[in-house]
Amino acid sequence: MEQRQCYAAGLSPEKTKSDIKYSIMRTVKRRSLNQVKEEISYRILRQKLPEAWVMHEYGPDYGIDCVVELFDYVDDTKEVAETLGEQFFVQLKGSDSVQYAERRAYSRGNVAKGLLLEDTSEFVDIDVANFQLDVSDLLTVEQLGTAVPVLLILIDIQTERAFFVCLNDYLEKVILPEDPAFESKGSKLIQIPVQNEILPREINLVALRAYGKRAKMYGAFTKFAFQQKEIQRARGLVRANPDTSKDKDIDMLKVFAESSLRQDIWRGHDFWEPMAWSFRELEDVLAAIKGGLQPAEIEAFKQYCDLHVWYRLCNLANMYEELVREWFLPTVLAQLASYPDQGNLQKSNAISSFNKDAMCYTRCAG
C-alpha cells in the first residue's frame, strides 16, 4: 500500500510518509500577507464611503486598484440612487505599521509659474502619514493626465483610519518642485495630511466629490474659453469677424448662457464662492435677454458679457490650476485654504530665501 502511494505521488518507494504529505501540501493555493491586507483595506474603505457609491475593482494591478463611481439617492426613503456621472481612481494601500510624522511646510511662491522659492521665515507644521510609493505608480498617474484624478488612499489597518491625497496634484505641486529628478529613484515618500481623513460624514466627503467632478470642470473651462472668444468676435475684436447682427449676437449670448448653466459643475462646489458668483451672473444674463434689450443697449451688454461675466468664467480655470489643485496637499497654501481653522502660520527668525535674494540684488546693484 505504501509503495502504491509513493508512485501515485510521483515519489520513489524510499520516500517516507512525511515526504509524501509535504509534497502534496506544496500544491495547495495560498494567500500572501499582502493579499490579506488588500482585502482588509477594501473592506475598511467600503465602510468609509457612502453606501450608494460603487467601487469597481480592477483586475491585474497596473497602478490603479479601483475606480469609485459617485451616486446620490433621489428619494427621501433612500431606496433609489442614480449615478452622477462622476468618478475618481484609487491607488489603495494598506499598512499595519503606518509611520506618522510632522512635515514643516514653508511659505513659497507659485510653483505653477516658476521654480520653488521658499520663505523660511513663515511655516506650518503639518501632521502627516508617510508612505513610500513606487515611482512607476507616479509615472502612470502622470500619463493619465490632470483631468483624471488618482487618489492615493492609505489605510491604517491597526486603527482602521483612511487618508487620501490626490497624486496628480501632489506630483506637480510637491514632488516636481522639490525633486525634479525623482524619476531616477525607485520610490518616493508621499506625505498625506492626517486631516485628509475619509469619514462617513458629508463634510468629510467634500474633497472626494470635488475630485469626482474634475473631468467636468476641465470640459466646462474649454467651453467658456470658446464662448468668450466668440463674444469678442461679435464685438469686432477678433480677425475673421463674420457678418453678424444685433439679433444674432443676442441669440448667441442666450445659447451660451443656457449651455453654460447646463454644465453639471455648479452643484457640489458650493464651498468655492467664485462658482456661486458666476452661476448667478449667468442667470442674470439670461434674465436680461428674456426681459428684452433695447437696440441701444446691446453693444454695452456684449461688452459686459465679455469683460465681466465670461472673463470671470474663464478665470475659474486659472484659479483652479493655481489654487484649487493645491487643496488638501501638505503645503502652507493648502492648509490655509482647506483647513483655515486649523492651519496656523508661524514665524521664525530665519532669513527667508526671498529676503536673501533681495539682499543679493541690493549688494549687486550697489
- Check: CB of residue 167 under 8 Å from CB of residue 89: no
Q: What is the per-residue pLDDT for 49?
A: 96
Taking alpha carbons only, the member of 316, 114, 296 closest to residue 225 is 316
DSSP code string of 64-118: --EEEEEEEESSTT---EEEEEEEEEEEEEEESSPEEEEEEEEEE--TTTSS--E
Burial status of residue 246 (CB atoms within 10 A of its CB: 0-12, 13-18, 19 or more): middle
- Check: CB of residue 173 under 8 Å from CB of residue 162: no
CA angle 349–350–351, rounded 5-degree value? 120
Spatial separation of the C-alpha atoms in residues 311 and 318, rounded to whole Å = 11
The cell numbers describing 271, all together, are 464651498
Q: 359 Cβ partners below 8 Å, 6+ apart? A: 351
Burial status of residue 135 (CB atoms within 10 A of its CB: 0-12, 13-18, 19 or more): middle
Sign of the alpha-carbon torsion through 359, 361, 364, 366: negative
Spatial separation of the C-alpha atoms in residues 128 and 154, rounded to whole Å = 11
Q: What is the per-residue pLDDT for 364?
A: 34
Taking alpha carbons only, the member of 83, 21, 28 closest to residue 56 is 83
Spatial separation of the C-alpha atoms in residues 96 and 323, rounded to whole Å = 34
- Amino acid identity at 37: K
- Residue spans of the chain under pLDDT 70: 1-33, 60-61, 269-271, 342-343, 349-366
- Amino acid identity at 89: F
161-166 and 150-156: which strand pairing? antiparallel
Residue 215: phi, psi to the nearest 5?
-60, -40
- Check: CB of residue 278 under 8 Å from CB of residue 269: no
Phi-psi region of 78 (alpha: psi -120 to 50; beta: other; left: phi over 0): left
